[in-house]
Amino acid sequence: MTITIKKCTHEDLYQLQELSYQTFNETFKDQNTPEAMEAYLEKAYNLKQLDKEIANISSQFYFIFFNNEVAGYLKVNINDAQSEEMGDESLEVERIYIKKQFHKHGLGKVLLNKAAEIALECSKKKIWLGVWERNENAIAFYMKMGYVQTGAHSFFMGEEEQTDFIMTKSLQ
């Protein structure tokens, strides 16, 4: 079993889009309307939007590979790229997705550890993320990894407003 991580570049744009569509659909399509899914996917994962995000110096994307096959990805934000005003001492894990076929191989843990490593390199004191209140498996995983719920915010899936728990982990 070989696990590797690679930072994404503009050359990875199409693969990132394909992976984003696949993992988001696998994670959320059964709990949302097709219309809401389509609206969100088009807004969040169109090539122009992803290109803009990759170009932002305060955001970073990483692919994770399992036995040389892309298995998922991570997106982290610092400074003004964070999706919520959380301050200069915070790093946001905005996206962390693993293809369904690669679940239960410890890849999520590897990516969260990568996020913590990046946070420490950037002299950040805490990591935070938003997780849908109905995503019980993810919430349990984040709690196991040392995150605690510290708030909530709205997340829009198309026109539908949903609630994400904000979970935070101190690096002190």
Residues assigned a catalytic role: 142
**CA distances (Å), origin 23, targets 19, 74, 85, 87, 103:** 6, 12, 27, 29, 11
- Residue 87's region, left for phi above 0, alpha for psi from -120 to 50, else beta, is left
Helix (H) / strand (E) element for 139: namely helix 136-144
CA 117 to chain centre: 15
